[in-house]
Chains A and B, each alone.
Chain A
Amino acid sequence: MFKILLKKELAPSIKLFEFDAPLIARKAKPGQFVVLRINEEGERIPLTIADAKKDSGRLVIVFQEVGKSTKLLGTLNVGDAIIDLIGPLGKPSEIEKYGTVVCIGGGVGTPEIYPVARALKQAGNKVISIIGARSKNLLIMEPEMKSVSDELYITTDDGTYVKKGFVTDELKRLISEGVKIDCIFAVGPVIMMKAVTDVTRPYNIKTIVSLNPIMLDATGMCGVCRVEVGGETKFACVDGPEFDGHKVNFDLLVKRLRTYIKDEKESLDLFEKHSAECG
């Protein structure tokens, strides 16, 4: 059992939890994730490790409520426990001294990019961060990102905060202003990551993205998480989740993510009906 020690609502339907998980916290590195299972009937869902506090044994995750499992998770409170928390899984980000690095986070990608940006900063890079959200109220972790970035730019799709536009607009601006970028890390919705790679491809800027296919065991034994990178099939849970964005077949990723769309809806409807009856 893994107990929830802290719960925060960062934005509507985006929540942060701190779990008591010393074994995992001790080993966690930026870019890695955990798999959790809420209860006996629960599915195994992957979530990125947003932070790991080695001294207190606390593991931080941030999630967006999109379907049954994440909505159910959101109903838990401090003191509640989930039955399984497994990790750290996946390969850590390749943290090196690249020079100038741009870290891009979209939506719940921001908490995922945060530990990466921090580690890159500690490794001596100049870190320029761009974070974006649909709207002001959905923009999260601005202070944290600011604290680990040399420069921070913000966009909102609807212009309710700082600058109207997409994260890629800021990236294009930096490139056009002649900023020399040695490497880019981008985490967020698939279309955002694809858009970033489209921007950087002509300039041949190394662009690393963190893929989020459907997962099951997340230890390399089932192959549901297969993605195509450079024409080869890879298992994202063990070979990734980070890959060279210029080689990723994003269309396949999008299609495979839709495999269970009907079941996901059925599961969610049942959950909401039940919550309404009992709530």
Chain B
Amino acid sequence: MPKPLPNKIPMREQTPQERVKNFKEVPFGYTEEEAVIEAKRCLACKKPSCVAGCPVEIDIPGFVSRIAEKDFKGAIKVLKQKNVLPAICGRVCPQEDQCEKVCVLCKKMEPVAIGRLERFAADWEAKSGIVDMPEKKPATGKRVAVVGAGPAGLVFAGDLVQMGHEVTLFEALHKAGGVLVYGIPEFRLPKAIVQREVEYIERLGVKLMTSFVVGNTQTVDELLQEYDAVFLGTGAGLPWFMNLPGENYSGIYSANEYLVRSNLMKAYLFPQYDTPIVRGKRVATIGGGNVAMDSARTALRLGAEKSMIIYRRSKTEMPARIEEVHHAEEEGIQFEFLTLPVKYYGDENGWVKEMECLRMELGEPDASGRRRPINIPGSEFRIPADTVVVAIGQSPNPLIPQTTPDLQVGKHGNIIADEKTGKSTKKGVFAGGDIVTGAATVILAMGAGRIAAKSCDEYLKTGIW
């Protein structure tokens, strides 16, 4: 066997100068030829370490070798055995921390570009227009309500409907997809792809009810009168603020607001779409995760002259995907590391004008294993900004726990559910995804949906909790 090429086949993409002026997807994806060459880098290990790195244990050598053999249909089939949303995961999984991190090639060279190949196979299927519908088990007569149409809810609903149960999916917003539609921007995950996956789940027979806020329109207990089981996949949608003086000045956004306006409401197309967004000239985004990168890059595309990331630790501690940080740097985002905002100054109309910051230094590692930032006294300085996006994290939305008294929640407001079954503390109610774990990843939410689906199916068959 010839020695594999040392580097991943690069994925062609829009140049930074070009892409900051539009919201189109940045990378173009592999051509068939590129995919085949990349797939051939895989050693098809007998004991593939990569599989253990994937939270849903995709048969990675299985699908990659089919791509190498140009059996693209076969590849997608292997993928879909474990992952119903490969077009999405191929794009947004933090592969460098998961499957690709443990690929054997890493010892000597770059790992196999598993994510890019996954994306390739899924896009190939979509382009071919032939999507195989799986076989459905005979109807059981059982009815299940799924709350929240993010990755966890979509996967749970898709699995259960195939098991022969009648499934209704309730979503508070007017579009299904969760963070995939309201949070992650078009230039990273085109909404047409999410729409395609949602339509697929509907074609499987899932009934979708959007604009239905469980807790308000109906409570979980009311749903339980009509349905045999309920799954809660309501995500971590409650934005955190820092409680700083002046934080309520106009022009200061939570990342959720900024991204919902831009993505879900299409404010970047204002006034063709009715929802406005502040098109700031100097935009400061606070945080170091994917949410912060998405916000800062959105700001550029909305016309910012200067888009800054303000992060209290250093580059190595940033939780964002490496690819996103790289893209952000290429696009000219300015990083202010070891910087902590402490106060805002506004003008006479209540608009933010400046933020006061402190410089930080890194101390001992904290509970998360990252070095703890410590502020340097007397290091105050000001950063002028007309728009600020606070992207420091979010926690579970309290609406469902508040309206479901016998549902136990943890100290961060997360719903307590068994990791192996998805069972909550309330009979007939399952939960999974960010609502249980706190803000995590798409693939982990999907994995949780799948685990809960299996145990829900058991419960529906046996009635044993």
- Taking Cβ atoms with an 8 Å cutoff, the residues of A that contact B are 23-24, 27, 37, 41-44, 68-69, 83-89, 216-217, 219-224, 226, 228, 233, 238, 252, 255-256, 258-260, 263-264, 266-267, 270
Contacts and interface: CB of A to CB of B under 8 A. Distances in A.
Given A87-B216, A223-B254, A270-B271, A255 B349 contact: yes
Interface bracket on B: 35 or more
A255 B350 contact: yes
B320 interface: no
Given A37-B174, A87-B213, A219 B397 contact: yes
Interface of B: 172-174, 210-213, 216-218, 237-239, 241, 243, 247-248, 250-251, 253-254, 256-257, 260-261, 265-266, 270-276, 278, 349-350, 397-399
Contacts of B217: 23-24, 27, 86-88
Given A23-B218, A89-B216, A216-B261, A258 B399 contact: no
Contacts of B237: 219-221
B387 to A, nearest CB: 11
Which of the listed residues B173, B216, B253, B272 has the most CB atoms from chain A within 10 Å of its own CB? B216
Given A217-B172, A220-B399, 14 more contacts: A23-B217, A27-B216, A43-B273, A44-B174, A216-B275, A220-B237, A221-B239, A221-B260, A222-B256, A222-B260, A223-B253, A223-B257, A256-B350, A260-B278
- CB-CB nearest 5 A-B residue pairs: A255-B350, A263-B276, A222-B257, A221-B237, A43-B274
B216 A221 contact: no
A17 B174 CA distance: 21
A84 B210 CA distance: 9
B213 A86 contact: yes
Which of the listed residues B173, B251, B274, B278 has the most CB atoms from chain A within 10 Å of its own CB? B274
B258 to A, nearest CB: 9
Contacts of B210: 84
A27 B218 contact: yes
Contact of B397 (A43, A84, A220, A256): A220
Contacts of B256: 221-223
Contacts of B270: 263, 267
Contact of A267 (B238, B247, B271): B271
A219 B254 contact: no
Secondary structure at the A interface, as helix, strand, loop or mixed, is: mixed
A273 to B, nearest CB: 11
A44 B175 CA distance: 13
Given A27-B218, A83-B174, A85-B211, A222 B239 contact: yes
Contacts of B271: 263, 266-267, 270
A223 B241 contact: yes
A267 B272 CA distance: 9
A69 B248 contact: no
A41 B239 contact: no
Contacts, number: 113
Contacts of A255: 250, 349-350
24 contacts: A43-B273, A86-B211, A86-B212, A87-B213, A87-B216, A88-B216, A217-B173, A222-B239, A222-B256, A222-B260, A223-B254, A223-B257, A224-B257, A226-B248, A233-B247, A252-B248, A255-B350, A256-B350, A258-B250, A258-B350, A259-B250, A259-B278, A267-B270, A270-B271
B350 A220 contact: no
Contacts of A252: 248, 350
B278 A216 contact: no
Given A84-B174, A233-B243, A41 B260 contact: no
Nearest to B273: A41
A204 B271 CA distance: 46
B243 A256 contact: no
A256 B251 CA distance: 9
A267 B270 CA distance: 8
A87 B350 CA distance: 31
B179 to A, nearest CB: 11
Given A222-B254, A228-B248, A238 B274 contact: no
Given A259-B278, A260-B276, A233 B248 contact: yes
Contacts of B349: 255, 258
B211 A84 contact: yes
A58 B261 CA distance: 30
A81 to B, nearest CB: 13
Contacts of A85: 211
A220 B278 contact: no
A44 B173 CA distance: 10
B181 to A, nearest CB: 12
B275 A43 contact: yes
Given A222-B260, A233-B243, A89 B213 contact: yes
A68 B265 CA distance: 16
Contacts of B218: 23, 27
B125 to A, nearest CB: 28
Contacts of B247: 233
A222 B261 CA distance: 10
A252 B238 CA distance: 22
Nearest to A270: B271
A25 to B, nearest CB: 11
Contacts of A260: 276, 278
A267 B276 contact: yes
Nearest to B350: A255
A89 B215 CA distance: 10
